[in-house]
Structure 1
Amino acid sequence: MNEQTVTPGTATAPEAPVTPGEAMAPEAPVTPEASALPAPTAPTVPAPTEPTEPTSPAPTAPPRRVLRAVGRWTAAVLAFGVLGTGTAFGIASLERTDVPGLATEGDGRWAYPKLSLPALPAGSPRPFSTGNPAEIHHADLRDLLLPAPAGAVPDKKLTGGWISTETFVAAYRPQNRASVAQLLKDAAPRHIAARGWTMPDGTVSRIYLVRFNSTAFATRLIDDLYVGSSAGTPLDRTEAMEFDGSWGSANDIENLSSFVFTEQAPFGAEHVRQAYTLAGDTVALIVHERPGKREAEQVPFQQTVILQNQLLA
């Protein structure tokens, strides 16, 4: 998986299953043989003999059961030692893309370029620092847009620059555009920037960033669109949008609030995934559409949301 992390200004191969050895048949108990006691004889006085060196008693052989147990444990230790060494060597010798859990290619993620946070004007704080109570993004909003991944065909209308209110409102159903336009007029956003692209599998991606004068106005837009437990005001070409249960708290970024939804079957001519993120004074809307009655892939969508959120954090 090609996971990038944003820098300022800029799981192990499964071990081969261990096949247990054949079960050992239980040993028959060893019983001492009976011996006849010698008949008592009259005590005799031994004749004097030449002194001899003392001899140590012959060691008693341990029972066969103990020997077999020791043998089995020794074999087990050797087997696991060889297995562990082989596994460690195998992982160390593999390329990173070959180790499950550490893969960077072939797991569905898109190949985004290396990301970095844009430079701030001299003396300007970051949006969630203690000296910025209004949570303002002082960087150029266009520089906070996620770049397109490798293989993408750029959208000629959403090029990463400024867009008009009308272009943003066109993301919603025709019958809802007038009300959304009125919300923006009342909240008076400072800027709207957007970027879009199409991937080789036909997935169309669009990212909109709407920046206001403070977090209060951005929060008001989220509320007025009724985004929260529901997807709120419907986007164009969407049917039944439901909360995406695959999005977990582990994907959340501190200080940001994300609302992630996916279209439920049966859907129309395309499947849509969408997410809103409230990031201080800025609202992000991220949309993936895949035509042909095929679902827009979950992995690249969540990847896109996470990376865009990192740029806004």
Structure 2
Amino acid sequence: MNEQTVTPGTATAPEVAEVTRTPEAPEVAGTPEPREVPETPETAETTETAVPPVPPAPPRRVLRAVGRWTAAVLAFGVLGTGTAFGIASLERTDVPGLATEGDGRWAYPKLSLPALPAGSPRPFSTGNPAEIHHADLRDLLLPAPAGAVPDKKLTGGWISTETFVAAYRPQNRASVAQLLKDAAPRHIAARGWTMPDGTVSRIYLVRFNSTAFATRLIDDLYVGSSAGTPLDRTEAMEFDGSWGSANDIENLSSFVFTEQAPFGAEHVRQAYTLAGDTVALIVHERPGKRETERIPFQQTVILQNQLLA
């Protein structure tokens, strides 16, 4: 918003008094003559200078009212903009606790970064140009929110390549398995859960020996302007226009997509995040003809990204 600048006037105090003084009323037929007022030096000077009539200034209470309405409009504008980016602007430990009635966020537990081995730098610090995650990959998985029923297969521990590949369509699993064989990931960890509304959530973390291998997986899956290699039970996936740059976290690259209507037996939202030597795949799917809620999905992506940053 451009800042308005008010240029101060150059008139002196006496001149302002003369301009704003109310002129004498003209004589009107049938109107009783006004009482005589003793002439003072001030009124005499006014009469001699013959200052032309000037409309009276608007009452101060009107100006105050206009100011209040202007401030209210600006405040609502700021609030509207802030709502769009509110999730992204919150601190790591603040997002779960700030859910309000009806906003749709899930109640995640308070988050904290895991301890690192002695002398090991964080992935994007100046002492770690290779952007390696030295923390246990399982400790970097986002925990399930309150009310979730844990997935018995994706418990937050290590999973096999076959389990990860099962996230893709049957006809694409062989090619994805070959990509992983060529890139030789160090570890794959995953956690899943189901919420009371039926939304199924799955998070996979795949760590490689270097950033180059992680980047190569994203490229070989053709993830970028499109969702790339289709996941199982998905139809037409398109870029999610509601995900803005304000949601991105420094040093990480996220690719967020949502399934377009008409969709199949469930509606799917998915996101890939490239975080140094690690690739995250986050999936929310909701059975039936109801769309998967956007706010808890983006909340999940942001919180998981914060743990990887």
Q: TM-score, normalised by structure 1?
A: 0.71
> Deviations for 1:219-241, whole angstroms, at most 9, x for unmatched residues?
00000000000000000000000
More helix by share: 2
Superposition deviation, residue 181 in structure 1: 0.2
Q: Matches of 1:257 and 1:96 in 2, distance apart?
A: 18
> Residue 170 of structure 1 aligns with which residue?
166
Matched position secondary structure for 2:47: coil
2: distance between equivalents of 1:10 and 1:34?
37
Q: CA deviation at 1:106?
A: 2.4
Q: Distance in 2 between the 1:238 and 1:44 partners?
A: 92
Distance 1:128 1:177, change over 3 A: same
Is this contact kept in 2: 1:110–1:149, CA < 8 A? yes
CA contact (8 A) 1:127 1:135 kept: yes
In 1, distance between residues paired with 2:42 and 2:254? 105
Cα separation, partners in 2 of 1:74 and 1:249, compared to 1, 3 Å: closer
Greater relative contact order (CA < 8 Å, ≥ 6 in sequence) = 1
Deviation at 1:56, TM superposition (A): 27
TM-score by length of 2: 0.72
Moved more, 6-15 or 171-180: 6-15
Shift of 1:282: 0.2
Looking at structure 2, the residues matched to 4 and 142 of structure 1 have their Cα atoms a distance apart, in angstroms, of 53
Identity %: 91
**In terms of mean alpha carbon deviation, does 279-288 or 76-85 score higher?**
76-85
CA-CA distance at 1:109 after TM superposition: 0.3
The root-mean-square deviation of aligned C-alpha atoms, in Å, is 13.6
- Asked if residue 273 in structure 1 is aligned to residue 266 in structure 2, the reply is no
- C-alpha deviation, 1:32, in angstroms: 3.1
Q: How many residues align?
A: 305
Q: Deviations over 1:19-63 (max 9, x none)?
A: xxxx9999999843379999999999999999999x999999999
1-side partners of 2:37 and 2:12: how far apart? 80
Shift of 1:134: 1.2
Name the CA shift for 1:119/1:239 in 2 (closer, same or farther; >3 Å): same
Report how far residue 80 of structure 1 moved: 17
CA distance, structure 1, for counterparts of residue 134 and residue 227 of structure 2: 29
Counterparts in 2 of 1:24 and 1:274: CA distance versus 1, 3 Å = farther
Query: Could you list the per-position Cα deviations for residues 250-294 of structure 1 after superposition, in whole angstroms to 9, with x for gaps in the alignment?
Result: 000000000000000000000000000000000000000000111
* Segments of 4+ moved more than 2 angstroms: 1-15, 23-53, 55-106
Change (3 A) 1:159 1:52: closer
Q: How far apart are the structure 1 equivalents of 2:158 and 2:217?
A: 19
Q: Deviations over 1:166-213 (max 9, x none)?
A: 000000000000000000000000000000000000000000000000
Q: Is the 8 A contact 1:170 1:177 kept in 2?
A: yes
Determine if contact 1:241/1:264 at 8 Å carries over to the other structure. Answer: yes
CA displacement at 1:77 relative to structure 2: 18
* Contact map agreement 1:5 1:115 (CA 8 A) in 2: no
Distance 1:289 1:4, change over 3 A: farther
Structure with max Cα Rg: 1
Give 2:248's aligned residue: 252
Unaligned runs of 5+ in 1: 16-22
Question: Could you list the runs of 5+ residues in structure 2 that have no partner in the other structure?
Answer: none
CA distance in 1, matches of 2:103, 2:229: 33
Deviations 1:60-117 (A, max 9, x none): 9999999999999999999999999999999999999999997634200000000000
